[in-house]
Amino acid sequence: MQRTEIARIFENPVAWAEGEIVVCGWVRTLRDSKALAFMQMSDGSSFAPLQVVLEDGKTDDFKTARKWGAGTAVCVTGTLALTPEANQPFELHAARIALEGACDSGYPLQKKRHSVEFLRTIGHLRPRTNLVGAALRVRSAAAFALHSFFGEQGFLYAHTPIITTADAEGAGEMFLVTTLPMDETPRTQEGAPDYAQDFFGKPAHLTVSGQLQGEAMAMAFGKIYTFGPTFRAEDSHTQRHAAEFWMVEPEIAFADLADDMALAEAMLKSVVAQVTQQCPAELAFCAQYVDPGLTERLQGVLRADFARVSYTRAIELLQPFSNDFDYKPVWGCDLQTEHERCLTEKIFARPVFVTDYPKDIKAFYMRQNDDGKTVAAMDLLVPGVGEIIGGSQREERADRLETRLAQMGGDPAAYQWYLDLRRFGGCKHCGFGLGFERLVMYLTGIPNIRDVIAFPRTAGNAAF
Ligand code: 4AD
Ligand code: MG
């Protein structure tokens, strides 16, 4: 008999209440008394488990099966009983239960709440827990939601390279990709590693952003987005930095910074609407055990217009709170997490776009404003997470771009193809990058990036 997934039963219990069905999954918990045992089992198709009732005299192998503990893989054949008055809307009365895979007594996921720190040490097993299970289900739903948003808006889904010879952010925080031997590295006459002998014939790195290639695609297709892994060799030991994370990067032609923010706001609202619809059980779990303010916050995203404030004005607004901060808000310095939180949680109490940052703290490709001091940048800050999106209008004037690149230590020869985009029918354009893990943190209220990515890579850790 074909197996029935638990999610299908939740969709339409009545349809499955006729005749025998087979459900295969893993025991979550088993509570037994003399003649009766209640098993919660999960097959991964739904967040909610299925309750299975085993009964002496009615279930074959009752005496063996009642000993199978958490983690055991089983296939249950039985009939579904609708129980609208009980805690769960139905239960499966087992006629037969077959062992698929026994579970060792050393199984670490027993029925109790484990700390997130402990769960990180069992990365191969923690997707089976409610917390990480909810995070990864929301993650999957959010990915589909993003694709559907951009697909409906007519964006081209572009794939940009993971190995690259361009430093998109000009920040130098890149992982080297090489096949040169580390012990006897071939050297040039000057003593530097001889990349001419390397796999690509020059230094190559894991990408920090698909933006530069994304811009080339936007100059052909008008509206594109990328969605892929990016890598940063930043030695940041925070709750919101990973060395490997996923980024969504739209790029739009004939558009300015206001268009860029409008797109970001519409995208975020659409994702929140879709995920709250598709993952009610996961979000209810997070609201109960992780972040009591979650439901209200997500509803707030749908209701309110996001605030917009210039960086210069933001610094002024932060002044009265100076005594609360470790770092004084000073014009010219990047906003610290504490400043971001104050803006989103106290001053505006909603998501806020901060625009027009000082040019010296932003990347070379951002469009220079007429004041000579700032660039047409925008960061979207959200309560709880801080910066979730970073974007800008791009410098489309070839001479200014080239000058700025050189000022910031870039080699114009290495970026010739990027500068070409300005010579061959360049136009006003802009884009942004959404940190996908930060989005999942925001959607679930989970405060640590290590718990919203199945196998996190952070400074000092690449386990599993
Ligand atoms: O602000 P960032 O560095 O912007 C860019 O990379 C641009 N090229 C994007 C663009 O305009 N196309 O990064 C964008 C977002 C941040 O706002 C943040 O959400 C996330 O990526 N991010 C990280 N997430 C996790 N771990 C890290 N180390 C991150 N660094 C950036
Ligand atoms: Mg940024």
SS3 for the chain is: CCECCHHHHHHCHHHHCCCEEEEEEEEEEEEECCCEEEEEEECCCCCCCEEEEEECCCCCCHHHHCCCCCCCEEEEEEEEEECCCCCCCEEEEEEEEEEEECCCCCCCCCCCCCCHHHHHHCCCCHHHCHHHHHHHHHHHHHHHHHHHHHHHCCCEECCCCCEECCCCCCCCCCCEECCCCCCCCCECCCCCECHHHCCCCCCEEECCCCHHHHHHHHHHHCEEEEEEEEECCCCCCCCCCCCEEEEEEEEEECCCHHHHHHHHHHHHHHHHHHHHHHCHHHHHHHHHHCCCCHHHHHHHHHHCCCEEEEHHHHHHHHHHHHHHCCCCCCCCCCCCHHHHHHHHHHHCCCCEEEECCEHHHCCCCECECCCCCEECEEEEEECCCEEEEEEEEECCCHHHHHHHHHHCCCCHHHHHHHHHHHHCCCCCEEEEEEEHHHHHHHHHCCCCHHHCCCCCCECCECCC
- Ligand 1 atom closest to the CA of 211, numbered from 1: 12
Which of the residue ranges 162-171, 178-187, 448-457 would you say has the lowest mean pLDDT?
Answer: 162-171
**Ligand 1 in contact with 241 (CB < 6 A)?**
yes
Is residue 207 scored above 80 in pLDDT?
A: yes
Ligand nearest to the CA of 433: 1
**Ligand 1 in contact with 435 (CB < 6 A)?**
yes
**Ligand 1 in contact with 160 (CB < 6 A)?**
no
Mean pLDDT on 90-115: 94
Ligand nearest to the CA of 218: 1
For ligand 1, atom 21: residue with the closest CA: 435
Nearest to 155 by CA among 146, 167, 144: 146
- Ligand 1 atom closest to the CA of 236, numbered from 1: 28
**Ligand 1 in contact with 198 (CB < 6 A)?**
no
Which pair of structure tokens corresponds to residue 25? 């999954």
**Ligand 1 in contact with 362 (CB < 6 A)?**
no
Which pair of structure tokens corresponds to residue 233? 């060799």
At residue 172 the predicted structure's pLDDT band, cuts being 50, 70 and 90, is: confident
**Ligand 1 in contact with 168 (CB < 6 A)?**
yes
Is residue 171 scored above 80 in pLDDT?
A: no
Mean pLDDT on 236-244: 94
Distances (CA, A) of 282 to 174, 267, 302, 316: 35, 21, 19, 40
**Ligand 1 in contact with 169 (CB < 6 A)?**
yes
Residue 113 pLDDT = 86
Instruction: Give the pTM.
Output: 0.97
For ligand 1, atom 5: residue with the closest CA: 433
Which of the residue ranges 53-62, 103-112, 157-166, 269-278 would you say has the lowest mean pLDDT?
Answer: 103-112
Which of the residue ranges 38-47, 169-178, 198-207, 440-449 would you say has the lowest mean pLDDT?
Answer: 169-178
Residue 423: phi, psi to the nearest 5?
-85, -30
Mean pLDDT on 301-308: 95
Residue 135 pLDDT = 98
**Ligand 1 in contact with 207 (CB < 6 A)?**
no
**What would the pLDDT profile of 321-343 be if each residue is shown by its tens digit?**
999 999 999 999 999 999 999 99
Which residues 6+ apart lie within 8 Å of 121 measured at CB?
A: none
Which pair of structure tokens corresponds to residue 95? 């006629």
At residue 64 the predicted structure's pLDDT band, cuts being 50, 70 and 90, is: very high
Mean pLDDT on 191-202: 96
**What would the pLDDT profile of 2-32 be if each residue is shown by its tens digit?**
999 999 999 999 999 999 999 999 999 999 8
- Ligand 1 atom closest to the CA of 433, numbered from 1: 9
**Ligand 1 in contact with 250 (CB < 6 A)?**
no
At residue 268 the predicted structure's pLDDT band, cuts being 50, 70 and 90, is: very high
**Ligand 1 in contact with 249 (CB < 6 A)?**
yes
Rounded to the nearest whole angstrom, what is the distance from the C-alpha of residue 432 to the centroid of ligand 1? 9
Mean pLDDT on 455-460: 96
Mean pLDDT, the chain, rounded, equals 96
- d(C-alpha 212, C-alpha 367), whole Å: 14
Which of the residue ranges 98-107, 168-177, 180-189 would you say has the lowest mean pLDDT?
Answer: 168-177
Ligand nearest to the CA of 260: 1
Could you tell me if 269 and 208 are in contact, meaning their C-beta atoms sit under 8 angstroms apart?
Answer: no
- d(C-alpha 261, C-alpha 215), whole Å: 17
Distances (CA, A) of 58 to 24, 98, 195, 432: 19, 15, 72, 61
Is residue 34 scored above 90 in pLDDT?
A: no
Could you tell me if 211 and 251 are in contact, meaning their C-beta atoms sit under 8 angstroms apart?
Answer: yes
Rounded to the nearest whole angstrom, what is the distance from the C-alpha of residue 369 to the centroid of ligand 1? 22
For ligand 1, atom 25: residue with the closest CA: 241
Residue 21 pLDDT = 98
Rounded to the nearest whole angstrom, what is the distance from the C-alpha of residue 129 to the centroid of ligand 1? 29
**Ligand 1 in contact with 245 (CB < 6 A)?**
yes
For ligand 1, atom 23: residue with the closest CA: 435
For ligand 1, atom 4: residue with the closest CA: 390
For ligand 1, atom 18: residue with the closest CA: 435
- Degrees to nearest 5, angle at CA 250 with 248 and 256: 140
**Ligand 1 in contact with 386 (CB < 6 A)?**
no
User: In which residue are the tokens 């060792």 written?
Assistant: 104
Enumerate the β-bridge partners of residue 38: 31, 53
Q: Which residues are placed with Cβ below 5 angstroms of ligand 2, an ion?
A: 390
